[in-house]
Structure 1
Amino acid sequence: MNPSQAAALLTLGHSLRQAGYRFMTVTPSTHRRINGRPGNERALDLRGIFGWSRPFEPGLLPPRMLALMREAGIVKEEGSLLRSGLRLSTLGNLLLYHSAYPTSEDDAVFFGPDTYRFVGTMERAFGWLGSGPTRAVEIGCGGAPAAIAIAQRYPHAEVLGTDINIKALDLATVNARLAGLDNFQACHSDLYAGLQGDFDLIVSNPPYILDEDERPYRHGGGERGAEISRRIVEEGLERLRPGGSLMLYTGVAISGPDDHFLESVRPLLEQACGTWSYEELDPDIFGGQLGEPGYEEVERIAAVWLHAVKR
């Protein structure tokens, strides 16, 4: 993304906020079902264009908004109709850019119900942080919803958002500017590999699905999709300052009574942490995934939350 495209996205975001735009992003299956209802074939308002990713007549938008979309390079032509290449979603008082529906590209930037659960649980845990971190990072940030929430809550902190996806980092930078923040920085890094120094706060909502196409925003690697989550804990504890917090929201494939992910990280947590907690936020998410290869023995996918405080 070049500077003029980023500036156009920023101005467009401000224009949508001034117009009262709000949109809560749903699961892909719900999105597909709602868009399939009669009358929803085309967008009729701003939410249809920038939330539901529906095609629209060029005359539906004010000329200035359409010009900004073209300048930002996010207009896709479909015959006589147009479609936005990005969505904007509401998170508290924030508007955040992310990929349009459906998210099928390798460099798609994810945002959805997991994001709301992740950031909401993180914000409820801020009470543990006292005056807050001086240096924080969101690993695998995508559009950086958590990093931006941290930077907004703790303006004295240096906050980083890291990802291997350049498109995600471009959108994260625009999202932070749209929020009016100057204490956020987007960094290209494969987990911690490109980072220097240590942190008071590490947060992450990594990919955890077994994806046949191994799309980076979705595929969690081996260990039934838990490999990246385990690495974030293992490598993160080495980067965490004494008294610092690691907060992880992830999904765990569970077969029978045992939680394989928890048992894999328990020795690390007991060795390095003075206190830690682990809970299931939702016992059954992405049920449709259980019919996919690699899940033959899996009974459910649970959304879990880990908060570890280093000794």
Structure 2
Amino acid sequence: MNQLNVVAQDTEHDLPLLQLGRRLQADQYRFITVTPLTHQRVNARAENHRARHLRDIFGWSRPFESELLPEAELRTLMECGLLRAHGGMWLSEVRWSSIDDLLFVHSSFPTTSHDSVFFGPDTYRFAQAIQEHLRTSSHRIQNAVDIGCGSGAGAIVIAQARRDAQVLAVDINPTALRYTAVNAALAEVENVATQPSDLLGNVFGQFDLIVANPPYMQDIQQRAYRHGGENLGSDLSVKIVGQAIERLAPGGTLLLYTGAPSVDGVDIFFKHAWPLFDRPDLSWTYREMDPDVFGEELESATYAMAERIAAVVLTVTRMPAS
């Protein structure tokens, strides 16, 4: 099977979802997704208990009455399971968020199911980190992969900027692969393919660019979209570093956006990841994009010893062959 046909085939049974995205694009719909805590606070306001327009329905995940959507569209969305009844009104099972001129479908608020596809401020920082790398790197990208692609934001940002690259989006979550296929079709990038894989377990070959924005919280419910394992959620990110650096082509780069919890001034993620890339054949950079994210987690017993959680970007590049 031609990889570039995978997205088109995947979206056939999601055609109503793709059509909804195109309708929102035509209506110049835009929505910037905030943190779950901000979302909760804004929706708690008395005037926001029900939807008044499309941004309320598909951005803020507010209950809406049938009159807000055309009858035919409402019926199609109901038949496809994209709406559910709620107190005599309706709720959308999906949300739509913007990055620049791109539109992405992902799970509705709140993300409670184990197959939820998360999108939020981390997604924006991840996309910005990729865009900055693409602006400053002169290395040609022929093959790229987005590990744990979620909504496909990383893969699609790469594919849009490097039209001649083959970009693979992998995830263990079938819903994430579905949404990525829809989002790639909506963005009209034909160089993205989706594939189920646990990290790089089902993927072969070397890559010029590997990107990842993995879950990085230690979640007591171990929800796949949120749980980053032990060491305060750092284990999954460390595992990605270990796998990815062995799959870099000469001159290729791993760009990892993740969270870094600190205990007594020690960066737990960096402490465990550094031995993996402290090698003469690799060069690396490490920086904080935001020194303090998800501060509310520090109130939980899991993070009782943590001082802060930072949003960080690690880049590791394999030296070109001499």
Displacement of 1:5 after TM fit? 4.1
Match of 1:201 among 187, 209, 217: 209
The answer to whether the 8 A contact 1:207-1:217 is kept is: yes
Unaligned runs of 5+ in 1: none
Match of 2:241 among 233, 243, 247: 233
Partner of 1:169: 177
The answer to whether the 8 A contact 1:9-1:68 is kept is: no
Partner of 2:45: 37
Residue range with higher mean Cα deviation, 114-123 or 292-301: 292-301
For 1:275, give the aligned amino acid: S
Q: What is the CA–CA distance in structure 1 between the aligned matches of 2:279 and 2:226, rounded to whole Å?
A: 30
The answer to whether the 8 A contact 1:4-1:71 is kept is: no
Match of 1:89 among 88, 94, 97: 97
Partner of 1:283: 291
Displacement of 1:263 after TM fit? 2.5
Displacement of 1:265 after TM fit? 2.0
Superposition CA RMSD, Å: 1.5
User: Could you tell me the percent identity over the aligned residues?
Assistant: 45
Partner of 1:222: 230
Partner of 2:115: 107
Q: What is the CA–CA distance in structure 1 between the aligned matches of 2:171 and 2:263, rounded to whole Å?
A: 30
The answer to whether the 8 A contact 2:78-2:84 is kept is: no
* 1:146 matched to 2:130: no
1:39 counterpart SS class: helix
* 1:19 matched to 2:22: no
Unaligned runs of 5+ in 2: 1-8
Q: Any idea what the Cα deviations from partners look like across 1:261-286, whole Å, max 9, x if unmatched?
A: 21222222221644210011111110
State how 1:55-94 maps to structure 2 within 5 Å.
55-94=63-102
Partner of 2:260: 252
Q: What is the CA–CA distance in structure 2 between the aligned matches of 1:23 and 1:110, rounded to whole Å?
A: 15
Displacement of 1:256 after TM fit? 1.7
In structure 2, relative to structure 1, the CA distance for the partners of 1:188 and 1:2 (3 Å cut) is closer
For 2:14, give the aligned amino acid: A
Residue range with higher mean Cα deviation, 184-193 or 55-64: 55-64
For 1:232, give the aligned amino acid: I
2:222 counterpart SS class: coil
Displacement of 1:4 after TM fit? 5.4
1:207 counterpart SS class: coil
If the length of structure 2 is used for normalisation, what is the TM-score? 0.93
Displacement of 1:131 after TM fit? 5.7
Partner of 2:4: none
Q: What is the CA–CA distance in structure 1 between the aligned matches of 2:310 and 2:177, rounded to whole Å?
A: 28
Q: What is the CA–CA distance in structure 1 between the aligned matches of 2:86 and 2:12, rounded to whole Å?
A: 25
If the length of structure 1 is used for normalisation, what is the TM-score? 0.96
In structure 2, relative to structure 1, the CA distance for the partners of 1:177 and 1:71 (3 Å cut) is farther
1:244 counterpart SS class: strand
The answer to whether the 8 A contact 1:249-1:303 is kept is: yes
Between the two proteins, the alignment pairs up a number of residues equal to 311
Residue range with higher mean Cα deviation, 252-261 or 193-202: 252-261
Displacement of 1:3 after TM fit? 5.6
Q: What is the CA–CA distance in structure 1 between the aligned matches of 2:309 and 2:84, rounded to whole Å?
A: 35
The answer to whether the 8 A contact 2:265-2:307 is kept is: no
